[in-house]
Amino acid sequence: MLKDITLGQYYPGESILHKSDPRTKIILVIAYMVVIFLVDTFTGYIISILFTLLSAVVSDIPLKYVFKGLKPIIFIALFVMVLNILTIKGTPLLEYGIIHISYEGVETAVKMIIRLMLLVLAASLLTLTTTPILLTDGIEKLMAPLRIIKVPVHEIAMMMTIALRFIPTLLEETEKIMKAQASRGADFDTGNLVQRAKSFVPVLIPLFLSAFRRADELASAMESRCYRGGEGRTRMKQLKLGRYDVVISLAMVMYISIIIILEFF
């Protein structure tokens, strides 16, 4: 389950999305996430699903690899579904004792699950098609106006990207520790919720130690390379907008226009 998380990982490729400017992709993903929260009809969700699938196909990343990132959120999706079904009142579909399931509850649950999955897929496509370095540069460029009020833009962008990049690294480390503990007799699959939580204590302690050690090694490596923040830093490759950015921007504008017309007019 842990190795199924694709958020924060990069998948090499030569697709339109890979060659697009990171600033364009960040802005478009944010716009997409805003639009997803405006969608309230099943027709709008179908269009959003088709648009997301088309984006995944255009990215030239195997669909199996893209959708693998949805496995870790299955528990969250089920929890959200049950919570909405049991708490939202409306036209009754099933009543059995204290259990009251309404049409509105089922409808809201389905919409929430679709929305959650689309948000995860959009964020995954961003990191899968953008290297950590380009992602850092894109975030820093977009936050550049904040330098006027003395905000450490470069440092913030660097910390965000390092945190994102460390997700797959820490997950891989967690899996190694769990396998090592399981070989020593640790049991993570049996017992009640409290017992399972206690069984993860031998995993968390070495994981925290490993995370601190990696952070210290990273800091030492950056210092040995004379890293002193963003002041006066130059880049070997400058970010430039190109025709690929125009293509994906037009596609996003068409999608947003369709959703707005469908939902509000």
**In 3-state terms, what secondary structure has residue 100?**
strand
Percent of the chain past pLDDT 90, that is, above it, reads 24
Distance CA 116, CA 248 (A): 23
What tokens appear for 42 in the block? 């099943």
Give the other-Cβ count within 10 Å of 259's Cβ: 22
* pLDDT at residue 226 tops 80: no
Question: Apex CA 128: angle with CA 225 and CA 136, to 5°?
Answer: 35
* pLDDT at residue 1 tops 60: no
Mean pLDDT of 226-234: 69
Residue 240, Cα to own-chain centre: how many angstroms?
Answer: 25
Q: Model's pTM, two decimal places?
A: 0.77
* pLDDT at residue 257 tops 60: yes
Mean pLDDT of 78-107: 80
Residue 7: pLDDT band with limits 50, 70, 90: low
- Residue spans of alpha helices (H) in 146-191: 153-183
Mean pLDDT of 139-163: 82
Mean pLDDT of 226-241: 71
CB 206 within 8 A of CB 177: yes
Mean pLDDT of 192-203: 72
Position with higher pLDDT, 163 vs 246: 246
For residue 101, list its beta bridge partners.
Answer: 94
Give the list of residues 6+ apart from residue 23 with CB closer than 8 angstroms, or none: 138, 141, 142, 239, 241
- What is the domain partition of the chain in residue ranges? 1-130+240-265, 149-233
What region does 225 belong to: left with phi over 0, alpha with psi -120 to 50, or beta? alpha
Residue 232: pLDDT band with limits 50, 70, 90: low
What tokens appear for 87 in the block? 């708490």
User: What is the number of H-type helices and E-type strands within the chain?
Assistant: 11, 2
* pLDDT at residue 259 tops 90: yes
Residue 227, Cα to own-chain centre: how many angstroms?
Answer: 28
Question: Apex CA 16: angle with CA 15 and CA 21, to 5°?
Answer: 120
How many Cα atoms are found within 13 Å in the side-chain-facing hemisphere of 242? 11
Position with higher pLDDT, 107 vs 193: 107
Distance CA 220, CA 216 (A): 6
Mean pLDDT of 227-246: 76
Residue type at 64 in one-letter notation: K
Question: Apex CA 5: angle with CA 247 and CA 118, to 5°?
Answer: 45
Residue 101: pLDDT band with limits 50, 70, 90: confident
* pLDDT at residue 6 tops 70: no
* pLDDT at residue 70 tops 70: yes
* pLDDT at residue 4 tops 80: no
Residue 29: pLDDT band with limits 50, 70, 90: very high
Task: Tell me what pLDDT residue 140 has.
Answer: 83
